Structure 1
Amino acid sequence: MWFGTWLSALCLATLTLGATKQDKQDDSGSTIKSIALRTHTLQQPYLDSDMQSRWYDFGGDAVVRTDAYIRLTSDRPSQTGSLWSKVPLTATNWEIEVEFKIHGKGSLFGDGFAMWLTKTRAQEGPVFGSIDNFEGLGIFFDTYKNNRPGTVFPYVMAMVGDGQTSYDKNTDGKQQEFAGCSARGMRHSAVPSKFRLTYFQDKELRLELQYKKEDDWILCFETFSPPSIPNVAYLGFTSETGELSDNHDIVSISAKNLYQSNPSSTPGSSRKKRPSPRKKRGSWFWTLGKIVLAVIGVGGAYVGYTAWRTNNARRSRF
């Protein structure tokens, strides 16, 4: 009985140790820690007691509803709205998660909205409400198809601006696209629409979307040769409507500074070297099996030795 109790306790402790180790790893196989960036995070009610935001400026036709959203443009023609951080984002590695909503009454709609990380800020222009020939990164959530055969809209694309290259609206930026994906169902989504942009300098740029099911993140694009983003870049959101229109709402912005517990490994290399779950599980059970067999062997030897001593003791009496 003593041996069985000891064996059960050993197995339970070993399983608990394995679960603890798994809980500390993320999907890439390395531990990623984060610190919230208050300067670039925006949540309800958005405004302070002075009816201003300490960290963001609102511009153009943007409307703030403190219990619901920041509406960059309403479902009306010829509107332009913006939301820009007052201080630049200087973190080397970061993650920005945004909840948004695109909706309207019409069956014809446009044009979409954009997220920016650029050297300049709060300048109105023709590219989703911001200036052309920008320097930095633009993520465009384009809902209206101009001339791009074979592409399903809405379409989400990234463009890296060098300060000289112009965005071609007539072809929906086909020649300027760095990476992108179709996102059918993003407009009028039944669940909260979100995107999550993750950046590790010189290592990784990844964009994930949520619009089909809650907590179901779809990889839009991922590259382990990311573009160079300006060291001093302002975070912004802009939108515009033309003859066609839609409501473009920003519900919340969550920004984090990221760092790895093992700086020598990169997200890409960690993901490539990480064994598959099936291999890890097989290796784990094989190791556990060897431990159990060893314990049984030791226990069997102990029981045999005890029986031998008992028999010898009985013989010596006679």
Structure 2
Amino acid sequence: MSCLAAYAYLLLISLIFPHVFADNAAGDSPHRRFEYKYSFKGPHLTQSDGRIPFWIHTGNAIPSSDQIRITPSLRSQKGSVWTKTPVSFEHWEAEVAFRVSGRGRMGADGLAIWFTAGQGLEGHVYGAADQWNGVGIFFDSFDNDGKKNNPAVLVVGNNGKLIFDHQNDGTTQSLGTCLRDFRNKPYPVRAKITYYQKTLSVFINNGFTPDKDDYEFCTRVENMIIPDTGYFGISAATGGLADDHDVLSFLLFRLTEPGQNLPPPEKEIPKEEKDKYQEEFENFQQELDKRKEEFQKEHPDVQEQLIEDLFESVNDREIRQVFEGQNRIHLEIKQLNRQLAMILDEQRRYVSVITEEISKRSSQAQSGQAPSHEMETITNTQQEVLRNLNEVRNSLSGSLKQLAVGQQQGSAGGLGSYETVQHFNDIKEHLHVVKRSIEHIIQKNNPAEKVKCPELPPLPTCLSTTHFVIFIVVQSLLFFGYVMYK
């Protein structure tokens, strides 16, 4: 049994995995509108003072320009981020992108996404307060109850009176759950949480693909009542084990039933708040102008640089791309030139060997001597091969010179590459003709002394037929056992 058969079987096994499709609700889709005041996303996520616009962070949370590290991979850490202003949408949808990564085989404790009537800034439920009034979507990575049902995603509701059941990982209080491994994935894990017509749905992107819309259905809770007004938050905590809990983005959308119009954006912001923002902007503009004047007075020799000079124009970008393309073509042609020099050396060695063979055959007057026209054919073929090689080398040299003077977008380099391919095909054909002619002459003149190339040793087999059959049986049992376990 060869290696190829074993590898083919392994490939077939690796491709047979079940795929779970997202469960879409029937009926027309609701209208969505992005709400920037309740969202964040990098880059430039934080302000100069380290704060997040429209959000507050507490505990060990570390905001940066492209993400928020809710907790670092240190023991006994807690952190959270919450919206500053309450949300009063009847229907909404939140999309959260996050990473949970650590060195250990197991992680702790997990991450939670909240919608509660009050801000649970600190507490022992994934870094947030217990006895909340609202709903929490928990991404639990530590198996407290020892039932090997983690990592898992749980939806837990609370009316402000229940105490979270830590010993059982909240399974006794969960309204919906699904098993999903969200640790150490190559791409960010994404969670889509939709609350529409008193139904909470959770969809998960498992982080194995860069496709942001590749969601799988996780769980759904119907007839769920949550507060009319509340705060969104994200929290995380670590214990004896620790993971990095990083949130890359939180995007909130307001949903409206089909046939209903969204309220105008200008009606969402009160006039007093708009006047306040306008006053802050004018004060900032005046302060900026004042500082510019002071800087010019203190540095009269420094000329003001135009903002356009700090960015690359369209023409500059096109010229840079042309030069980069010509540089790559130049490097490829230099590599071909080096390979061609090696071929020329090898060809000269073949010509010298054939010339010696022809002179030796011509000095001998034996029966069955090779006809003169065969020798002439070999000589002409070799001369043609050398001529083609010289043409290829001249073509490459011309292409290098044309690239050096910077002709438009490396067109000469493309022509040289095409001619190189044609010449190499001709060289390959002529070399086969020379090889067949030499073998024919040797077999005809010295039938008893045939020169044979050394035979390649047989390829060793990876495993015997018995071992391969045992491997198939064990692999199949493991595969079907894994499927049944999942």
Instruction: Count matched residues.
Output: 233
Gaps of 5+ in 2: 1-23, 261-486
Matching residue of 1:4: none
1:190 paired residue among 176, 186, 195: 186
**C-alpha distance in 1, partners of 2:202/2:157?**
14
Matching residue of 2:128: 130
**C-alpha distance in 2, partners of 1:60/1:135?**
21
Q: Cα RMSD between the aligned structures?
A: 1.7
**C-alpha distance in 2, partners of 1:140/1:108?**
16
**C-alpha distance in 2, partners of 1:262/1:27?**
18
1:167 aligns with 2:164: yes
2:39 paired residue among 27, 41, 56: 41
SS in 2 for 1:77: coil
2:80 paired residue among 79, 82, 96: 82
> RCO greater where, 1 or 2, for CA within 8 Å and sep 6 or more?
1
Contact 2:58–2:121 (CA under 8 A) maintained in structure 1: no
Alpha-carbon spacing, 1:260–1:201, altered in 2? closer, same or farther (3 Å): closer
Bigger Cα displacement from structure 2, 188-197 vs 137-146: 188-197
Contact 2:55–2:83 (CA under 8 A) maintained in structure 1: yes
Contact 1:39–1:55 (CA under 8 A) maintained in structure 2: yes
Matching residue of 1:115: 113
**C-alpha distance in 2, partners of 1:226/1:71?**
34
**C-alpha distance in 1, partners of 2:65/2:51?**
11
TM-score (norm 1): 0.70
1:245 paired residue among 224, 235, 242: 242
Contact 2:80–2:121 (CA under 8 A) maintained in structure 1: no
**C-alpha distance in 1, partners of 2:126/2:258?**
39
Q: CA offsets, 1:166-209, max 9 Å, x none?
A: 1111110111101110003x11112221000011143x211000
SS in 2 for 1:36: strand
Matching residue of 1:254: 251
1:236 paired residue among 203, 225, 233: 233
**C-alpha distance in 2, partners of 1:260/1:201?**
9
Q: CA offsets, 1:253-295, max 9 Å, x none?
A: 11000112246xxxxxxxxxxxxxxxxxxxxxxxxxxxxxxxx
Q: CA offsets, 1:155-176, max 9 Å, x none?
A: 0001111111111111101111
CA shift for structure 1 position 54: 2.6
Q: Point out the structure with the larger strand share.
A: 1
Matching residue of 2:423: none
Contact 2:99–2:184 (CA under 8 A) maintained in structure 1: yes
CA shift for structure 1 position 126: 1.0
Matching residue of 2:352: none
User: Could you tell me the percent identity over the aligned residues?
Assistant: 30
1:205 paired residue among 195, 200, 207: 200
Alpha-carbon spacing, 1:118–1:208, altered in 2? closer, same or farther (3 Å): same
Gaps of 5+ in 1: 1-25, 264-318
Q: CA offsets, 1:54-99, max 9 Å, x none?
A: 31001111111213x1000001101111100001111101100000
SS in 1 for 2:81: strand
**C-alpha distance in 2, partners of 1:189/1:140?**
18
CA shift for structure 1 position 115: 0.7
CA shift for structure 1 position 118: 0.7
CA shift for structure 1 position 107: 2.5
CA shift for structure 1 position 49: 4.2
Matching residue of 1:145: 143
Contact 1:60–1:80 (CA under 8 A) maintained in structure 2: yes
SS in 2 for 1:242: coil
CA shift for structure 1 position 39: 1.5
**C-alpha distance in 2, partners of 1:128/1:192?**
20
TM-score (norm 2): 0.46
